[in-house]
Structure 1
Amino acid sequence: MDALFYVIPVLIIAVLLFAAVGVIRRARAANRAWSSGLTAEARCLRTYTTTSGGSGDTSVTTRLNHVYEFTTREGRTVRFEERGGPGTVLEGDIVTVYYTADHPERATAEAPARGKLLARTGAALAFFGVFIAFCVGFIVVTHEAFSTAGDFMSP
């Protein structure tokens, strides 16, 4: 039973670290696409929304997604999805996308905004860091509580 107080926080830490790696990867991919200097005109093929939450007392969150298609300078046709795009882009609209030559499928239609990217990434990592620190603190306090409880239980 005591192991439960260690296993659950460690699992939460693992999930948070996995999410942090994902945030960093997405930020680096966007920055590489912006820095590559390669752009193309892309057509928005489809827009759709995804919803989450709404069970019990939680609010519903809706996210707009876009599917774009463009042709690279080499003539390769690439289709990609981007989450959380602007609501002003509709099906059939033409937008500028930024991509790298080696991974054009990781393109982004988001306009270069390094400060915004840094702030968004930093805020997410700080959020994850607070919860990781809480979990570590919980493990330490729980360990101390079990250690002192064992002293009182021994004959």
Structure 2
Amino acid sequence: MDIFFLIIPSIMIVGILLAMYTVISRSRRTTRAWGSGLTAEARCLRTYTTTGSGGGEHHRVTTVLHHVYEFTTREGRTVRFEEENGPGTTLEGDIVTVFYPGDHPERATARPPAHGRLFAESGCLLVFLGVALLFCVGFMISVEAAFSAWDDVAP
């Protein structure tokens, strides 16, 4: 039975570590695009939303706005990319400035540079995930200690 209290937190720890990796890699990718100095004018080809709902009593529904952009690099390569959670004011046909790294233009972003905001958002997410990680590890340690103490007392 005590293995159940170790497996579930272990699965949660793997998920938390994966989420931390995702936050860090997205932040690095965006910072790299902003720092490359390469920009292009892109046309918004399409906007659409996706919705999802979490289970539970209140059925919270989340909506994510997607934009599909297309631009031409300085080398003449046409690149199309999709970005989530862009501004709701960008509509199909609008021209926006995109920032892209020279070696991976498909990792472009249409978000204007805001290093402080990106740092704050990523930092807050990492702190939250770190607290959840510490909680899982602490829970596993306390459960293991409790079962060890129970085994010492049991006849």
| 2:61 alignment counterpart | 60
| 2:27 alignment counterpart | 27
Give yes or no for the alignment of 1:76 onto 2:80: no
**Cα RMSD between the aligned structures?**
0.9
1:51 Cα deviation (Å)? Answer: 1.2
| 2:138 alignment counterpart | 137
1:132 Cα deviation (Å)? Answer: 0.4
| Count of equivalent residues | 154
Give yes or no for the alignment of 1:110 onto 2:96: no
Matched residues in 2 for 1:20 and 1:65: separation? 23
Give yes or no for the alignment of 1:12 onto 2:34: no
1:54 Cα deviation (Å)? Answer: 5.0
Report the AA paired with residue 35 of structure 2: S
Aligned residues with identical type, % of pairs: 60
Deviations 1:111-144 (CA, angstroms, capped at 9, x unpaired): 0000000000001101101110110110011011
Matched residues in 1 for 2:89 and 2:98: separation? 15
Deviations 1:30-51 (CA, angstroms, capped at 9, x unpaired): 1010000000000001111111
Matched residues in 2 for 1:94 and 1:107: separation? 15
Superposition TM-score, scaled by structure 2 size: 0.96
1:58 Cα deviation (Å)? Answer: 3.1
Gaps of 5+ in 1: none
Deviations 1:62-106 (CA, angstroms, capped at 9, x unpaired): 111100000000000000000110000001100000001100000
Runs of 4+ in 1 over 6 A off after TM superposition: none
| 1:92 alignment counterpart | 93
Matched residues in 1 for 2:54 and 2:17: separation? 26
Gaps of 5+ in 2: none
Report the AA paired with residue 119 of structure 1: A
Superposition TM-score, scaled by structure 1 size: 0.96
Report the AA paired with residue 116 of structure 2: G
